[in-house]
Amino acid sequence: MAEKIMKFSVARYRPETDSEPHFQDFEVPYIHETSLLEALNYIKDNLEPELSFRWSCRMAVCGSCAMMVNGVPKLACKTFLRDYDPNKVMKIEPLANFPIERDLVVDISDFIEKLERIKPYIIPAEKDKNKPLTEGYLQTPQQMEMYRQFAQCINCGICYAACPQYKLNKDFIGPAALTLLYRYNIDSRDAGARERMKIMSQDEGVWSCTFVGYCSQVCPKHVDPAQAIQLGKKASAIDYVIKMFKPGEE
């Protein structure tokens, strides 16, 4: 197989020495199978050992290597050079909407804090609190199917980079965290929906979403956060109506 050459323009930034990001150009030989992650590792091994980026699994499941590729948020390990025009330059930048730590590494602590805030764990009903470890809940494949898709999120942050609302308002809980919230709310084992409803219905919750839907387009795992948020809005609206008629209930 003849090797081809791809040209890259990669964003560089070191907080200790740089006042702002700049770009560095590289040329990388590639074959049909070469991923962007492999190209970056080629650069690090052979051309510029200083270049920093996060990566680990190489198989689109650890969620480390999200970055902007020609302005589109993507996993580097699931982006293949074969899909790009070798006559043009591939522009690689850190994930949008997050502060840059260094080079292609961004600070995702805001996203992590949001994941933690939405109570992403089973809150069991009173009767299930001391369930013995010799039995499980019964959950039919149909019941599991309700939330299965929304449990596939790898926390890569790509939907936050795509979200126009998050770009404007960093208080917005955002696609992945709201999806996870909804995932637990509809799990047949969970009884915590009421606790989470407050988070979902507040200003930073589902109602901040203007349903652009770009999050679902770019999600590398087809989680469809836009749908989860729409379903969340429906649940939140029903909850609101119920509260209007039964104001005492909390």
Residues of this chain that bind another protein (CB under 8 A)? 1, 14-17, 32-33, 35, 44-46, 49-50, 52-64, 78, 80, 101-103, 105, 107-108, 112, 115-116, 119-122, 124, 128, 131, 133-141, 143-144, 147-148, 151-152, 154-155, 180, 184, 187, 189-190
State which residue, 125 or 238, has the beta carbon closest to another protein: 125
Residues 161-173 as b or e (16 or more Cβ within 10 Å = b): bbbebbeeeeebb
State which residue, 1 or 244, has the beta carbon closest to another protein: 1
What is the nearest approach in angstroms of another protein to the Cβ of residue 111?
10
State which residue, 97 or 165, has the beta carbon closest to another protein: 97
What is the nearest approach in angstroms of another protein to the Cβ of residue 16?
5
- The helix or strand, by DSSP H or E, that contains position 4, with its residue range, turns out to be strand 4-12
**Torsion sign over Cα 205, 174, 228, 197:** negative
| Residue 23: other Cβ atoms inside 10 A | 13
State which residue, 205 or 220, has the beta carbon closest to another protein: 220
Instruction: Determine the Cα–Cα distance for residues 164 and 215; give it in Å rounded to an integer.
Output: 9
Q: What is 13-38 written as a DSSP string?
A: --TTT-SS-EEEEEEEEE-TT-BHHH
State which residue, 78 or 233, has the beta carbon closest to another protein: 78
What is the nearest approach in angstroms of another protein to the Cβ of residue 223?
12
